[in-house]
Amino acid sequence: MWERSLASNQAPLIDAVKRQDVEGLAELLRGFLRSSLVRGIDAGDSYLTGNWRIHCLKLLDSLVSLAEQIGVARAESSQGAAAEALRNGIPAVVADIERRLAIRIDVPDVGGPYGLAVGDQLFTLNSAEYVRMAWRVSQCVAAGPLRVLEVGAGYGALAHRFLQIAQVEKYTIIDLPEIACLQAYYLGKILGPEAVSLYGEPDTGKVRILPPEALGTVDRPNVVINQDSLPEIPAAAAENYLNWIRENLDGIFFSCNHETLVPGFAVTYLPELIDRVGGFQRVSRDMCWSRPGYVEEVYVPMRQ
């Protein structure tokens, strides 16, 4: 799947880097969230020409699901009135979430985001889900300071939210070099360029972004996060990650992935991978609160 995507969706980014076209690359990055560069990670340009109103329903559902899961809205059931959480309007839901989490949850103006305006705040199709995931993982770990490894980090939105919510000593991302361009731009704009270290640079920032071949240089983490990726890469590569995690993790491995096997898309699913490599104990397995068909699991390594 990613071979196809890199050859098509991310091709302009790769071409600009190879040509060392600084101005061209800057122009691409300024609007990457509304382009094909982020296809396979987020909405990209998928909904710019379609009926955005119908996709706002999904966005609102994600906001309400976040409010329900953190306990600032009652969980809705078929026995009550529909959309009870929205009785006082969308701004009230946002305000309740922000009071409970003590952070702003609207999206930063980086990369050309588009979505739903709520007062002076903007929410994209998946922005509430990144907040929810960061909060969900934070509930499974100690207070910190945390050494986090995220395998496959999209464009860096989950990392941004986790750094807001949790006490983090070091946040390391392992991902394809092409996608690292998006992560470095996004997190560098939000956190400041001094906070982000790339492969080959001095490891002085709170965030370190590395290619897969540098996995062996990562300090022992106490949290490993994987969302939307291990089932979608070659099984051998996924097993290599899990073998490393088993031998080096001093804490929990949190996964949020689907288990739908589609040729050319997902090649395996996490419980099957875990069974192959062995050495893990599953602590919990729950359906994702806001994403039907997705499963949240927590594992710990069992080393001799």
- In Å, what is the CA distance from 75 to each residue of 72, 114, 126, 268, 290? 9, 28, 20, 33, 12
Kindly report the backbone phi and psi dihedral angles of residue 104, in degrees, each rounded to the nearest multiple of 5, phi listed first.
Answer: -80, 140
Whether residues 268 and 199 fall in one domain? yes
Whether residues 144 and 292 fall in one domain? yes
pLDDT of residue 50: 77
pLDDT of residue 304: 47
Lowest average pLDDT, out of 24-33, 67-76, 137-146, 222-231, goes to: 137-146
Distance between CA atoms of residues 62 and 176, nearest Å: 28
Residue 113, domain extent: 58-125
Query: What is the average per-residue pLDDT within 180-184?
Result: 97
pLDDT of residue 174: 98
pLDDT at 215 over 60: yes
pLDDT tens for each residue of 229-253? 999 899 999 999 999 999 999 999 9
pLDDT at 188 over 70: yes
Whether residues 108 and 139 fall in one domain? no
Whether residues 14 and 107 fall in one domain? no
Q: Tell me, what amino acid is at 58?
A: K
pTM score, whole prediction: 0.95
pLDDT of residue 145: 92
- Put residue 167 in one of left, alpha, beta given phi > 0 → left and psi -120 to 50 → alpha: beta
Give 16's pLDDT tier (boundaries 50, 70, 90): very high
Number of domains, the chain: 3
Whether residues 115 and 148 fall in one domain? no
The answer as to whether 51 is a domain residue is: no
Residue 229 sits in a domain whose CATH number is: 3.40.50.150
